[in-house]
Structures are given as C-alpha cells and as structure tokens.
Amino acid sequence: MRRIAEKILCGSLILLTSGCYSIGSYKLGKDQDQYAGSMIEASKRQTLSNLVRLRYADTPGFLDTTQLISGYQLQRNAFLGVASDTFPIRPNGGLAAQLQESPTFTFQPVTGDAYAHSLLRPLPPASLLPLAMGGLPIDVLLRLSVQSINLMSNNRPFSRNSGDLDATVDSHSIDFFSLAHDLRLLQAAGLLNIQLQQDPNKSGKDSENNRVFLSISSTTDPNLSLIVDKTKKQLNFSSKYERMEVVYGLGEPHPGQIRMLTRSMLSILGQIAYQIQIPDDEVSSGNTRKSIDIPGNITQKHLIDVHASHKEPDNAFVSILYDHYYYWIDRGDFESKLAFTITQMLLELSKTTLNPGAVVTIPVNK
C-alpha cells in the first residue's frame, strides 16, 4: 500500500511540474492574431462612426490605442491523503489548475496640438504620392486626398447646399477626373514613375524635407501613346524637363512644376461623409441635410457607398449603430472597401509623434 501511495505522489508531482511550461510562448501567436484583428476592427468602426457623425454635424472623436498589456497567472493545487478508517486503506488526492488573464488597455485621445497636426494639416505631396508607388490606385488616392492639380479642381457638388452661390460652378472638375483616370491607366501599364529626392537644403527624415518628382515614360503602343500625350499636355510637360516636380500649392504652376493642393485629414473625412445617403426621415426631421446628387458621369460616382437601415446587416465589412440606424459598408462592394482602406491608411499617415495629452488606462477583469 505504501508503494501505491508513493506512485500516486510521484504522478502528482509530475503533472504539477509539467504545467510549468511557458504560458507566454504558447499564447503569443494566438493572442497576437486576436488582438491585432480586434484593434483593426475597432479602428474601422471608429472611422465609420466619425464619418456618420460628420454627416450629422456631430463632433468626431479619435481615440488611439497606445499600449496593450496582457498578463497571465497560472494557479496549481494538489493534495494527497490516505484514509485510515477504511479497510483496505485507500489513498486519495486531487489536482486543480486555474489560468487567469488580466489585459490592460491604454488609450490616448487625439486633442490639442496632436489634433491640429494630424487632422487639420494638409497631407504633403511627398507623403501621398509614394503610396501610388506601393500599388495603391492613384485615381482613388487623388480623388480622396487632393483638392486640385494645377487649375483642375476636384469639385465635390454633393458637399454644397442648393442655396450656395457657387452651387452650379464647375471649375474644370471634369478635367480632374479625366486626368485621374488616365494616370491610373498609365500606372497600370507601368508608364507612371514617381521619385523621391532628399532636399539638400533641409535635414531630417521628415517627408516635408523630401522632394517628389513625376515622370511619364514613352511607349510604342498607339492607344497608350495617345494617353501619354494627353496627360503630358494636361500637366504642362515640357520637352525641357524629363520629370516634373510636384509641389504643394494652388493655381498656375511654374515651369517644371505641378501644383497640387492637398487636403487635410478632416477635409477628406468631411468629403466622404457628404456621400453617405441618409434615410428620408432623418432629413425631414432636421437631423441632417440632403446631399446634392452627383451627375451621371460614372467617373464622379461615390467612392464609398454607405448603407443605412433599422435592421442589422448580415454581410457587413464594417458597421456601426448611430441614432437608431445601422450604417455599414457591404462586404461584397470591393470599390467601397478599397477606398475605405485607403482612407484608413491616410489616417495612419497623418498621425503625429507629438507628446500625448490625457491618457486613459482601462484594466479588464474576467
């Protein structure tokens, strides 16, 4: 009987010591995927929520996750005993283990200088155009983030009210959309080239210290050759220059330059917000105003289609609940998803490294 008790004791110790493996290495991959997915989905919901808020003339808010700490505690218990009042004598024992998880999240509201720098400062061309080098469609990128190129305006009639003095003015907006479309064709054909160059008169790694140049390669393809000639004419390419420098500004460019008036992040979000189609009863109640419909030109259609309904959507890419309505982007709408994802990238691009203001730390207990 003594040997039986010793065997049980040894077995218990083996089980206990086998539980001393590293919890962190076991949980790392799983937790990394889950937390990364949760943070991405939360960021998508925050962006859509702010778009809807702006559509209702409500105050947008931004809360960045700055720190995530996930702690684990493994508690193990074991006991072994022998019952002496029974015959034959029988040993008894038990094992118990409990794993506790205690995540803590730290959030930083975007306020003050960080708000002004991230949301009110126009995005520099040297930060925007390299995104097209990475493969993002340049037509979507320009329509989202650029107000005008030279004298061609990215006019947004849906952001106007019917009583505005300039509600019927169209400042070469058709030329802008045509240019964006042709640049996309040249990008897809590999004929559009964008180069970054460090300004020798400035130091530092900031994108504002970089100069960005655009060039268009020639081609023997007759159809593409016509687009090349047309695009160069629109951008005032000269035979004296192999490439044109893209600079921030408005109006007639200097020789060898392309003037690009970029938008701030708040302006980008505001322009998208006016595309959201609001239910009729929300307009009639005075909660918001009805947008002016875009003309039938397909090149000027909405970049992001946001749907609204009292019923929760079944197949949403991202959805939020606001004022008793669900607003969502359909998962099957690739064009809207692409434009929304580019908007998310622009938001990340606009973020600043300025010192944070208030910090909110929330421990989560299970």
Residue whose structure tokens are 């169209």? 170
Higher-confidence position of 236 and 164: 236
How large is the average pLDDT for residues 55-61? 89
pLDDT at 23 over 70: no
Residue with tokens 């094992």: 95
How many other CB atoms sit within 10 Å of the CB of residue 309?
12
- Cβ neighbours around 348 below 10 Å, total: 8
Output 354 or 106, whichever has higher pLDDT: 106
281-to-50, 52, 59, 252, 272 alpha-carbon distances in Å: 21, 16, 21, 45, 21
Residue 47 has pLDDT above 90, yes or no: yes
> Nearest-5° angle of CA 138, CA 153, CA 114?
70
pLDDT digits (tens, 9 = 90+) for 183-231: 999 999 999 999 998 776 666 555 567 899 999 999 999 999 999 999 9
Q: Which two tokens stand for residue 365?
A: 């207990």
Closest listed residue to residue 310, CA positions, set 326, 322, 333:
326
Average pLDDT rounded to a whole number, residues 335-343: 96
For 289, phi then psi, to 5°, come to -105, 155
Q: How high does pLDDT run on average in the chain? A: 79
Location of structure tokens 């889950």: 34
Q: Measure CA 198 to chain center.
A: 27
Measured distance CA(249)–CA(237) in Å, rounded: 17
How far is residue 337's CA from residue 330's CA, in Å, rounded to a whole number? Answer: 8
Residue with tokens 């595309």: 275
**What is the reported pTM?**
0.76
Of 76 and 53, the one with more pLDDT: 53
pLDDT at 291: 72
**Is pLDDT of 7 > 60?**
no
Does 271 have pLDDT greater than 70? yes
Every domain of the chain and the residues it spans: 2-18+42-109, 122-263
What whole-number distance in Å separates Cα of residue 84 and Cα of residue 20?
Answer: 33
